[in-house]
Amino acid sequence: MAKSLLAVLVLTFGLLATARAADDSPTRTLGDAKDVSACLNCHDDPAVTSILHTAHAVKGDARTGFAAEGCQSCHGASDAHMAKPREGELRPPPSIVFSGPRISPVAERNHVCLGCHEGGIRMHWQGSQHETSDVACTSCHTSHAVEDAVRAKATQATVCFSCHAEQRAANLKPSHHPVIEGLMACSDCHNPHGSPTPHMLKGVTVNDTCYACHDEKRGPFLWEHAPVQEDCTICHTPHGSIQPTLLKERIPYLCQNCHDESAHNSQPFSGASLPGGSSPSRVMVLRACLNCHTEVHGSNHPSGVRLER
């Protein structure tokens, strides 16, 4: 009787061990982790499958790693994710998760992207304002999308404004660059991946950035206006203004920040106004200082010492 009971116990434990071994066996998987079609058995949402129509999924391009590793080329080792979990257990995620509640740390996600996209305009990413603010590549980019919104002029500003609300408000002012119209992008002036200049400008200086479009203001001029040569933002605000031509303040008050008004009495109804003192001063009418000093950015005329011609 004792021998029979022992035999039953041995058989029972043997069957349990066999079941547990089968449960742990690597053959109990949903497919090969390197096979893209195995991933698509579960992840068949268009938001995922659209990557097959992007440069990231070109199997013939050795730089993508898609032919050899499939989705693992970005998401890392996924064998454990492909294995069937035991009853009551959650399926472990891939090594790198780019969205959702089990999202990977920013540094890990960015490390994957920079593995391929480290050179060129991204060479200043390390230490940049976005990098030190824990901005992830996927905070702006959508790698699975056929058309990445942040790379198109018509939609880029919407992505940038999701964080930069102050600049969004400025672009809604009457005078602004044609960013919200989709004719110009934030990246025409800024390099979001980092720059050795303040505010991540594309040019070496503010003026060099502005001259990329406004080259007629570059000079050199025979008669130069000092603030123009120093920094365009002394007079202009780049994102938007309620004054014409993106001026920071209404003329003549803008000019009087540097120029003493005693040479030109510019009070609206001063004694220096039109005869009788009943009309506004001539330097306050229409374009104010620019009525006479028309070449405010610089003049090449022999008689243009006061930037009047």
3-state secondary structure of 299: strand
Say if residues 299 and 223 touch (Cβ distance below 8 Å). Answer: yes
Residues in the chain: 309
Identity of residue 285: V
* Residue (of 250, 252, 249, 235) closest to 288 by Cα position: 252
Distance, in Å, from the CA atom of 140 to the CA atom of 174, rounded to the nearest integer, reads 28
Q: 117: closest CA among 226, 45, 212, 194? A: 194
| C-alpha 144 chain-centroid distance | 17
| 196 contacts 124 by C-beta, under 8 angstroms | yes
- Specify the pLDDT at position 292: 84
Positions of the chain with pLDDT under 50: 8-10, 13, 15-16, 19, 21-27, 269, 271, 273-276
Residue 296: strand, helix, or coil: coil
Mind listing the pLDDT tens digit for each residue in 170-227? 999 999 999 999 999 999 999 999 999 989 999 999 999 999 999 999 989 999 999 9
pLDDT value for 119: 85
How many angstroms separate the CA atoms of 214 and 236, rounded? 13
What is the predicted pLDDT for the residue at 279? Answer: 55
Give the number of other CB atoms < 10 A from CB of residue 34: 17
Q: Which residues fall within 8 angstroms of residue 296, CB to CB, at 6 or more apart? A: 225, 228, 289, 290, 307
CA dist., res. 197 & res. 218, Å (int): 19
pLDDT tens profile 41-59: 889 999 999 999 999 999 8
